[in-house]
Chains A and B, each alone.
Chain A
Amino acid sequence: MPAVQETVEQVRAIDIDQYKYGFSTDIEMELAPKGLSEDIVRYISARKNEPAWMLEWRLDAYRRWLTMREPDWARVDYPQIDFQDMYYYAAPKSNAAPKSLDEIDPAILETYKKLGIPLREQEILAGVAPENRIAVDAVFDSVSVVTTFKEELKKSGVIFSSISEALHEHPELVKKYIGSVVPTTDNYYATLNAAVFSDGSFVYIPPGVRCPMELSTYFRINEQKTGQFERTLIIADKGSYVSYLEGCTAPMRDENQLHAAVVELIAHDDAEIKYSTVQNWYPGDSQGKGGIYNFVTKRGDCRGARSKISWTQVETGSAITWKYPSCILRGDDSQGEFYSIAVSNGAQQVDSGTKMIHLGKNTRSRIISKGISAGRSQNTYRGLVSAHRRATNAKNFTNCDSLLIGNACGAHTVPYIESKTASAVFEHEATTSKVSEDQMFYCMQRGLTQEEAIALIVNGFVKDVLQQLPMEFMVEAQKLIAISLEGSVG
């Protein structure tokens, strides 16, 4: 995702009711019949020509899902979802199996261009220095439409493709790892995802390889009444390194749309995965009409010794966010990190946080969470830090800060700590503060407008986390946060 600076500039003047990426693309789609059943699961699997074991895996999950109940412990409130009233598969018709960019529907290329994501490699190459190149997997509704720089990545042995493609080209890798971090039985939405996931990205970094460029997936929901269920699987083999970024947007619609994704990360001995998200799904209007339900399960397994997984998220979109990117610190001396900025405005509801599960010896984790609530929104940090009996000398540091803008919003912190070893050291700090009228007036007396003052104060608040993002995205995330908070005061 290159700088979308210019377009971002253009929306600086708009308020929360005018979401920037709210346009939709008129394109002929192939839809599965509405609703959910075993037949639909079979349909999806057949559309993708999946091997028999994959279909069995899906059906297993589906049958399990039928016995499960929707979780209700999160601090979010929404009407019952009718799982029979949506489509589980939507793919551009013209796009059955594009081999190259030339075969892709121009309307789709145009869509991504409008979103600031050029997909033509020549166009990307023209404007960007080699070290700043980013390979993109573009997922449009249920399918991956293209993955760029694949050939170049292949030279260093890196596999970057859609998960559908990986199922055909590297079935042994997919079979070995899928569901090994988030099992099909994990939770209601993850189990649903296992049954109906349609596409997503697959990454494999071979031993000792430092991935030569930033990888990213850009998710776009376009079709109405369609759920998006993507599944991402990233494996960093021994001693390898990869930095990956995920972005997402959706059209403005009055209806709520469900996005239930699963992301699994596996880091072997001495490997490192840095996973960043800039989540900007349509948040609904200021009255709470429409918007994406973002119910996502993300988990990383530090499987090897001295491995490291780092989650960084900037969450500004979605009507409801329910997500807890977590780390299982299995390998001795492994490290997990979670850096989060969650912004809520209007009627948005966020319940997000992390789990750091210390299983190995000398494992370390670090949690820095910055929640910003404005409007009438509710913003909850929910976190678990636990140490197993074996996890001697486990260390965690948690810092959880909330910033309130105005009087009608809420911030909540729900930290759980469990330790079964006496040698574990867990530190927890939490603060809640308000953007005060004094601060606003002080800034404005110096010449800043109300919006500039909010942006300045908020950027100061989130600085520690922003610095964790890849350079190219820092400025963009900063602007995104400012835009999300427009109309939050006055």
Chain B
Amino acid sequence: MSLLEIKNLTAKLADEDKQILNGLNLTVEKGQVAAIMGPNGSGKSTLSYVLAGREDYEVTDGEALLDGENILELSPDERAAKGLFLAFQYPIEIPGVGQMTFLKAAVNAQRRKNGLDDMPTPEFMKLVNGRAKELGISPDMLRRSVNVGFSGGEKKRNEILQMALLQPKLAILDETDSGLDIDALKIVADGVNAMRSPDRGFVVITHYQRLLDYIKPDVVHVLSAGRIIKTGGPDLALELEAKGYADIVGKAA
């Protein structure tokens, strides 16, 4: 069984007549890293939001199976507890809510939904401190409010920290590379690579080959106007980098 199977997914803005996803098909296997590339405005972020259950979008057709189960009827938190994680293109600030409080609330909320007890605080602290260190996240950052006053790069690293703590089955990274300098990019890529495993899948949304130099994809999909229009191996990314989207998008149209 595939980890993620999206069939004919069609979605529009909930309160407008604008259709964004137009019968999208995509399969991600366990252990796979799938890159999604595509022009601005083609629907990449929308795809990740629809999978995660954001209410701004209405699914009008199709289905999305995670481990064989259609998740489109579930609430966002239920999808999260089933192992779906989204690293946001623009992580959200929550003033007044300490990072540790937030991370602990998230870890324990998912554990509870999966029938586990809360993680004991000492164990949790050890886990966070360990992962934070690997990702170059300072103790000071862990004391601040969630994403408040973080630089673009710090926010992205913080997303990867959350992914590392939550250990999802399927992680969607939405332009995690944008806004990162080369050192930060390496740290993030190392964080992702360390989590690659035979039962985990990644969907890496990016514009740039640069990230894919560090996180080697198994497949590359091209998304345009709300559909996957081309699928290929790692070379496809290099080809896009060299020629741009115009050529391939033009051919598909």
Interface residues of A (CB under 8 A from B): 433, 436-439, 441-450, 452, 456-457, 459-463
Do A439 and B94 have beta carbons less than 8 Å apart? yes
- The stretch of B28-36, B101-109, B177-185, B228-236 in contact with A is B101-109
Question: Which stretch of B72-80, B134-142, B219-227 is in the interface?
Answer: B72-80
**Partner of A438 from B92, B97, B113 at Cβ < 8 Å:** B92
Q: Which residues of A contact B55 (CB under 8 A)?
A: 437, 441
> Are A460's CB and B106's CB within 8 A?
no
Q: Are B97 and A456 in contact (CB under 8 A)?
A: yes
Q: Which residues of A contact B91 (CB under 8 A)?
A: 442
Instruction: List residues of B whose CB falls within 8 A of some A CB.
Output: 52-56, 75-77, 79-81, 85-86, 88, 91-92, 94-98, 101-102, 105-107, 109-110, 113, 145, 162, 166
Least Cβ–Cβ distance between B44 and chain A, in angstroms: 17
A447 adjacent to B106 (CB under 8 Å): yes
Residue of A nearest to B108 (CB): A447
For A437, A445, A452, A463, the residue with the greatest tally of chain B CB atoms inside 10 Å of its CB is: A445
Chain A hits for B101, CB < 8 A: 456, 460
**Are A448 and B92 within 8 A (Cβ)?**
no
Would you call A439 and B92 a contact (CB within 8 A)?
Answer: yes
CB contact under 8 A between A460 and B94, given known A445-B52, A446-B109:
yes
How far, in angstroms, from A443 to B76 measured CA to CA in the complex? 9
From A437, A443, A457, name the one whose CB has the most chain B CB atoms within 10 angstroms: A443
Contact, CB under 8 Å: A461 / B96: yes
Further 11 A-B residue pairs, CB within 8 A, beyond A442-B94, A447-B166, A449-B77 = A439-B94, A441-B76, A443-B105, A445-B52, A445-B53, A445-B85, A447-B80, A456-B97, A460-B96, A460-B98, A461-B96
Q: Complex Cα distance A124/B80, Å?
A: 43
Interface majority SS on A: helix, strand, loop or mixed?
Answer: helix
Tell me whether B86 and A459 are in contact (CB under 8 A): no
- List the B side residues contacting A437 at CB < 8 Å: 55-56
A447 with B95: CB separation less than 8 A: no
Cα–Cα, bound, A456→B101 (Å): 9
B contact residues around A441 at 8 Å (CB) = 52, 54-55, 76, 92
B58 to chain A, nearest CB (A): 15
Beta-carbon contact of A449 and B88 below 8 Å: no
Determine the chain A residues whose CB is within 8 A of the CB of B92 once the complex forms: 436, 438-439, 441-442
CB neighbours of A439 from chain B (8 A): 92, 94
Complex Cα–Cα for A335 and B85 (A): 50
The CA of A436 and the CA of B106, in the complex, are separated in Å by: 18
CB distance from B53 to the nearest CB of A (A): 8
Q: In the complex, what residues of B have CB within 8 A of residue A446's CB?
A: 80, 102, 105-106, 109-110, 162, 166
Most buried by A among B76, B97, B106: B76
B residues in contact with A461, CB < 8 Å = 95-96
Q: Which residues of A contact B94 (CB under 8 A)?
A: 439, 442-443, 456-457, 460
* Cα–Cα distance between A462 and B97 once the two chains are bound (Å): 10
On chain B, the residues within 8 Å of A463 by CB distance are 96
A448 and B96 contact, CB distance less than 8 A: no
The reply to whether A444 and B97 form a contact with Cβ atoms under 8 Å apart is no
